[in-house]
């Protein structure tokens, strides 16, 4: 009998999501933020997301056999709790609590989970709740959906789970074997997050800006090696400087930060001005280099033997969203194949926890083909959204939306595009996008003025036809999900100046017909009209907002910006011309 597994994330307080497996196949996955229009959906439960994935899969609440959650109780006899207590001795309340009541958070989460299942009408008596350790869920999300007969080295870099934040192991014949874990506060992601906080950004979103700024600085101008150490066996952050809690935290304007006053004394005041100023731009470069170097050292120390056998490295966790680190890993002599989970942050643990349970119950999982796993909307729904929108936009049904979009783009227009199932994960991968011709003069200025308002130094992503990838990149990684920074060849850097950083690297999606047939069709038509098989691609959302989900969301974004064209399914939407009342 086919088993149905529902995965629910959100135990760590942000990025709640739901995913559903029917037997060994991932059918749907949706992030709560997209439905409630609140980025990261902090302190929310994946109620709407769970209802949505069940609807997509055609599954009733009573059909669900297992509910998998990416959070599990940790035994008092585990090294994790004792390590936490020892490393937080300077905050005795936290230290003692980790020993006496170390599963307090899990117990509260599990209790509240019961209320969620009740709201979803999932019967407790007939449904088994399966806790999966957080880092194991990350590991499963990338390994079990890319399983082969070879051993696969696994590296998970994360900010926060139960206690573990770095998982090192391998997958073989469906089993995940743990070789080593590092526990809070000793976290590579925590180290990066602390400097993100120091550089004036919000953790969870600001790391992208620090990574993007890094190529503009000199990593050797300032030495940040005192932040952490690795001796070949033990990784340890300097928690007199970073990853601090309690009284050690630097406080300003009643807010506690993830670093100490001692760090401020060492580096200077927390940034309030331009990130491109000295010393901050160089701090961004230095923390990026330290993060990469230490990750490489840890990988070499623990995974070299596995990599020598197969060359396969799978990475997940929030830290795997760092595309510059991923480039270093992909180019490492021991790595022949780098696998990055496209939703490697905490939302992806909904997939990972469910994958772990589904693999045990249903055998080897069907491989992940794409992340178009959310809801889709037909023309009728799109038209109804236009008719009820208070701005009363113009709309007309198109015979060929691909040809229309390609024509507009070839003529230098910016096109908002919403078609097919919503993507899962942080990247817009062809279904909820804003597209533009990268050769058009001042196109970046136009997009920033109309909708994005991004810093001038931040390059835009691209979607590139697989047939031109070898000509476009110095080395193509067949990256379908924009997970790996790639070196763009010199002729293209000059022709498309706003898609690379000053070191010539960019973030691109390699599009093939099997993985993404509709985006492939659009790119092919654009190439026929313009001679270029590449489009600038940025998320269909305004700054600080989640990626749009529904036609109403897309119209709200369209009407709230200076975008001129929106194509939803087969419907072309434009704005009414303003008329004078005089």
- The pLDDT tens digits for 246-269 are 999 999 988 999 999 999 999 999
Q: What is the mean pLDDT of residues 358-366?
A: 97
Q: Which tokens is 21 given? A: 């497996």
The CATH number of 188-340 is 3.30.420.40
The DSSP bridge partners found for residue 36 are none
For residue 195, give the nearest of 187, 409, 95 by alpha carbon: 187
Cβ atoms within 10 Å of 440's Cβ, excluding its own:
17
What 8-state DSSP symbol labels residue 488?
A: B
Out of 3.30.10.20, 3.90.870.20, 3.40.50.280, 3.20.20.150, select the CATH number for domain 379-574.
Answer: 3.90.870.20
Q: Which tokens is 459 given? A: 């390059």
Helix or strand holding residue 302 (H, E): helix 280-310
The pLDDT of residue 168: 98
What lies within 8 Å, CB to CB, of 82 at 6+ separation is 99
Lowest-pLDDT choice from 138-152, 274-288, 490-504: 490-504
The pLDDT of residue 440: 84
What 8-state DSSP symbol labels residue 423?
A: B
Alpha carbon distance 38, 431 (integer Å): 20
The pLDDT of residue 273: 76
What 8-state DSSP symbol labels residue 255?
A: E
Per-residue exposure over 122-133, b if at least 16 CB sit within 10 Å of its own CB, e if not: beeeebebbbbb
Cis peptide preceding 185, ω within 30 of 0: yes
Q: Where in the chain is the domain with CATH 3.30.420.40?
A: 4-142+342-362, 188-340
Q: Give the CA-trace dihedral at 438, 374, 106, 93, to 10 degrees.
A: 20
The pLDDT of residue 21: 98
Give the pLDDT band of residue 449 (cuts 50, 70, 90).
confident
Torsion sign over Cα 85, 91, 97, 103? negative
The pLDDT of residue 451: 85
pLDDT at 371 over 60: yes
Q: What is the mean pLDDT of residues 31-59?
A: 97
In order of 297, 323, 373, 421, the CA distances from 290 in angstroms are 10, 15, 36, 39
- What percent of the chain stands above pLDDT 90? 85
CATH topology of domain 4-142+342-362: Nucleotidyltransferase; domain 5 (3.30.420)
Alpha carbon distance 63, 84 (integer Å): 40
List, in sequence order, every beta strand (DSSP E) within 1-158: 4-9, 17-22, 25-31, 66-69, 128-131, 152-157
286-339 pLDDT tens trace: 999 999 999 999 999 999 999 999 999 999 999 999 999 999 999 999 999 999
Give the pLDDT band of residue 582 (cuts 50, 70, 90).
very low
Q: What is the mean pLDDT of residues 357-365?
A: 97
> What does pTM read for this prediction?
0.96
Could you give the maximum distance between any two Cα atoms of the chain, in Å?
79
The pLDDT of residue 578: 62
* Average per-residue pLDDT for the chain: 94
| CB contact at 8 A, 547 and 432 | yes
Phi, psi of 353 (to 5 degrees): -65, -45
480-524 pLDDT tens trace: 999 999 999 988 888 887 888 888 899 999 999 998 999 999 999
The pLDDT of residue 427: 94
Q: Where in the chain is the domain with CATH 3.90.870.20?
A: 379-574
Give the position of tokens 């009209």: 529
For residue 209, give the nearest of 296, 292, 280 by alpha carbon: 280
Per-residue exposure over 63-98, b if at least 16 CB sit within 10 Å of its own CB, e if not: bbbbbbbbbbebeeebebbbbbbebbeebeeebebb
Alpha carbon distance 570, 10 (integer Å): 35
Cβ atoms within 10 Å of 474's Cβ, excluding its own:
12
C-alpha 580 chain-centroid distance: 46
3-state secondary structure of 465: strand
- What percent of the chain stands above pLDDT 70? 99
Alpha carbon distance 335, 540 (integer Å): 34
């Amino acid at each position: 009998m086919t088993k149905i597994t529902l995965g629910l994330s959100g135990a760590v307080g942000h990025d709640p999501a739901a995913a559903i497996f029917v037997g060994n196949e991932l059918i749907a996955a949706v992030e709560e933020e997209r439905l409630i229009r609140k980025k990261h959906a902090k302190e929310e439960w994946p109620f709407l997301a769970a209802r949505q994935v069940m609807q997509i899969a055609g599954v009733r609440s009573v059909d669900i056999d297992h509910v998998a959650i990416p959070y599990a109780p940790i035994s008092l006899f585990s090294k994790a709790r004792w390590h936490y207590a020892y490393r937080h001795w300077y905050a005795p309340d936290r230290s003692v609590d980790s020993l006496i009541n170390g599963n307090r958070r899990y117990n509260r989460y599990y209790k509240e989970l019961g209320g969620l299942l009740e709201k979803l009408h999932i019967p407790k008596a007939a449904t088994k709740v399966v806790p999966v350790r957080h880092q194991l869920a990350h590991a499963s999300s990338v390994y079990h959906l890319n399983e082969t007969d070879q051993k696969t080295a696994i590296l998970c870099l994360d900010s926060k789970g139960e206690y573990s934040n770095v998982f090192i192991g391998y997958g073989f014949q469906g089993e995940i074997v743990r070789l080593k874990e590092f526990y809070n506060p000793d976290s590579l992601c925590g180290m990066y997050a602390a400097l993100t906080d120091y550089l004036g950004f919000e953790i969870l979103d600001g790391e992208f800006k620090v990574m993007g700024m890094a190529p503009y600085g000199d990593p050797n101008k300032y030495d940040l090696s005192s932040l952490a150490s690795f001796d070949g066996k033990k990784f340890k952050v300097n928690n007199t400087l970073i990853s601090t809690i309690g009284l050690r935290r630097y406080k300003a304007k009643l807010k506690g930060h993830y670093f100490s006053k001692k760090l401020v004394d060492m580096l200077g005041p927390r940034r309030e001005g331009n990130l491109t100023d000295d010393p901050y731009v160089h701090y961004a470069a230095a923390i990026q280099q330290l993060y990469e170097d230490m990750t490489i050292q840890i990988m070499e120390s623990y995974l070299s033997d596995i990599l020598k056998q197969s060359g396969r490295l799978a990475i997940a966790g929030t830290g795997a969203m760092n595309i510059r680190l991923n480039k270093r890993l992909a180019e490492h002599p021991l790595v022949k194949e780098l696998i990055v989970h496209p939703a490697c942050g905490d939302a992806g643990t909904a997939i990972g926890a469910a994958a772990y349970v589904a693999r045990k119950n249903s055998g080897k999982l069907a491989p992940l083909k794409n992340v178009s796993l959310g809801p889709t909307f037909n023309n009728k729904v799109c038209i109804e959204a236009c008719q009820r929108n208070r701005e009363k936009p113009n709309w007309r049904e198109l015979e060929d939306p691909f040809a229309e979009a390609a024509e507009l783009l070839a003529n230098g227009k910016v096109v908002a595009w919403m078609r097919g199932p919503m993507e899962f994960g942080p990247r817009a991968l062809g279904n909820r996008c804003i597209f533009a011709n990268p050769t058009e003069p001042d196109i970046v200025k136009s997009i920033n003025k109309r909708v994005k308002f991004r810093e001038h130094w931040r390059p835009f992503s691209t979607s590139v036809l697989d047939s031109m990838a070898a000509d476009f990149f110095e080395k193509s990684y067949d990256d379908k999900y924009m997970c790996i920074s790639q070196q763009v060849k010199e002729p293209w850097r000059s022709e498309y100046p706003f898609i690379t950083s000053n070191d010539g690297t960019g973030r691109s999606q390699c599009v093939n017909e099997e993985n993404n047939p509709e985006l492939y069709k659009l790119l092919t038509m654009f190439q026929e009209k313009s001679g270029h098989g590449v489009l600038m691609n940025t998320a269909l959302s305004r700054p600080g907002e989640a990626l749009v989900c529904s036609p109403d969301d897309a119209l709200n974004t369209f009407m709230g910006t200076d975008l001129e064209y929106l194509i939803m399914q087969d419907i072309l939407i434009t704005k009414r011309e303003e008329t004078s009342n005089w």
